[in-house]
């Protein structure tokens, strides 16, 4: 009859149910342990022990010990083993970039994140919906790890560590030139560079080498294992020496890499009139440098800056963006002004690794 409603057939009901299943929040959702994929039976970077963890990279706020099973790149698994010991998880499985694995009802694929060695974005696909969890990432060049690969997706879950327009990191090579100019200017002083021991330290060393500095570079004891691991994976870093046991007078005119906490410690007394440098995206905020007693701030970050975040979001083609751990509100607002659906995830337990890193007591005088 003219004007009557179309009959709802079982096929239409099934189609409606199929479409309803495609909702992104039914594939991944924030829970107290982290991002949970119930249909796949796993969590991404969980902050507490779970049955199956999918880990994006080896930084301690993303990679924790105690899970029953861990899926990650070989480099991330190796780094976790170096940090936590052989039995950091009940079982482990390595996944290569571009490799696809089926977990429950979803497919999981890893793509380079450009953050540190072995870091990955996790693409989770269910039916016709693809969600990419970025983990931590950067789009700046880094000679020590695979570059960021932009992954087209429906929903992009992005970090926002430096999610404010004030954060524009600039060229890391120029920051290293400032360091080398200071070394040349003060040959009687030692230069201590505070840098996170996974990723940042190795990148700074590689950039120093690219700038033409070929003298030995010294390492705090807490840096040695991870840095030697980078070398074993084919990352060329030149001649490196442990600083422990070197005479104070012999450290004049040298460069030493140390965890940030060590550069404001009694440990620095072994150096002749040290110049304290700190390699971090936070050094864009001069007040932070002053508060930390940093004489030579170096704006070098392993996280995307504002331009990197916004460019990556646009390049994914995602119509929906979930923003997590960082300056969430500004990035959510930016997305909405461009017609994208966006919301903060408000995940807890993730922070800036450079600030959360503490040294084991045995390494304080390393």
CA 232 to chain centre: 21
> For 265-312, how does the pLDDT look when each residue is reduced to its tens digit (9 = 90+)?
789 999 999 999 999 999 999 888 887 889 999 999 999 999 999 999
Burial of 161 (0-12, 13-18, 19+ CB in 10 A): buried
pLDDT tens profile 155-164: 999 999 999 9
Q: Listing from the earlier edge strand, what are the strands of the sheet with 320-326?
A: 100-103, 106-112, 120-126, 129-133, 155-160, 320-326, 341-344
Q: Where residue 1 falls among pLDDT bands split at 50, 70, 90?
A: very low
100-146 per-position pLDDT tens digit:
999 999 999 999 999 999 999 999 999 999 999 999 999 999 999 99
**How many Cα atoms within 13 Å fall on the side-chain side of residue 16?**
6
Domains of the chain are 10-166+303-352 (3.60.15.10), 172-298 (3.40.50)
In terms of DSSP H, where are the helices of the chain? 10-20, 24-27, 74-84, 172-185, 200-210, 221-232, 286-291, 306-316, 328-337, 353-356
Which residues, in sequence order, are CB contacts of 180 under 8 Å at separation 6+?
Answer: 208, 211, 213
The rounded distance, in Å, linking the Cα atoms of 201 and 217 is: 11
Whole-angstrom distance, CA of residue 182 vs CA of residue 195:
17
325 vs 333: which has the higher pLDDT? 333
Prediction pTM value: 0.90
């Amino acid at each position: 009859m003219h004007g009557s409603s179309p009959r709802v057939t079982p096929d239409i009901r099934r189609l409606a149910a199929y479409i309803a299943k495609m909702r992104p929040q039914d594939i991944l959702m924030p829970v107290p342990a982290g991002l949970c994929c119930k249909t796949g039976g796993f969590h991404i970077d969980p902050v507490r022990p779970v049955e199956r963890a999918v880990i994006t990279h080896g930084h301690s706020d993303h990679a924790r010990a105690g899970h029953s099973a861990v899926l990650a790149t070989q480099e991330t698994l190796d780094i976790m083993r170096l940090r936590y010991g052989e039995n950091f998880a009940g079982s482990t499985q390595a996944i290569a970039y571009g490799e696809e694995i089926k977990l429950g009802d979803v497919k999981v694929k890893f793509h380079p994140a450009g953050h540190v060695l072995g870091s990955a974005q996790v693409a989770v696909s269910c039916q016709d919906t693809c969600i990419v969890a970025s983990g931590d990432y950067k789009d700046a060049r880094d000679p020590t790890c695979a570059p960021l690969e932009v992954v087209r997706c429906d929903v992009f879950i992005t970090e926002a560590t430096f999610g404010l327009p004030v954060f524009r990191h600039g060229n890391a090579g120029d920051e290293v030139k400032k360091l080398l100019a200071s070394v040349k200017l003060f040959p009687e002083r030692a230069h201590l560079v505070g840098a996170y021991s996974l990723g940042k330290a190795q990148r700074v060393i590689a950039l120093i080498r690219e700038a033409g500095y070929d003298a030995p570079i010294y390492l705090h004891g807490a840096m040695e294992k991870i840095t030697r691991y980078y070398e074993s994976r084919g990352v060329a870093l030149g001649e490196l020496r442990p600083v422990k046991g070197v005479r104070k007078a012999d450290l004049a005119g040298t460069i030493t890499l140390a965890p940030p906490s060590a550069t404001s410690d009694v440990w620095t007394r072994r150096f002749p009139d040290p110049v304290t440098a700190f390699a971090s995206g936070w050094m864009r905020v001069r007040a932070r440098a002053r508060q930390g007693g940093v004489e030579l701030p170096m704006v070098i970050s392993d996280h995307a800056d504002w331009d990197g975040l916004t460019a990556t979001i646009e390049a994914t083609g995602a119509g929906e963006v979930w923003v997590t751990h960082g300056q969430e509100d500004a990035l959510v607002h930016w997305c909405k002004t461009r017609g994208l659906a966006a919301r903060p995830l408000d995940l807890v337990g993730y922070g800036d690794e450079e600030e959360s890193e503490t040294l084991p007591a045995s390494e304080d005088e390393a």
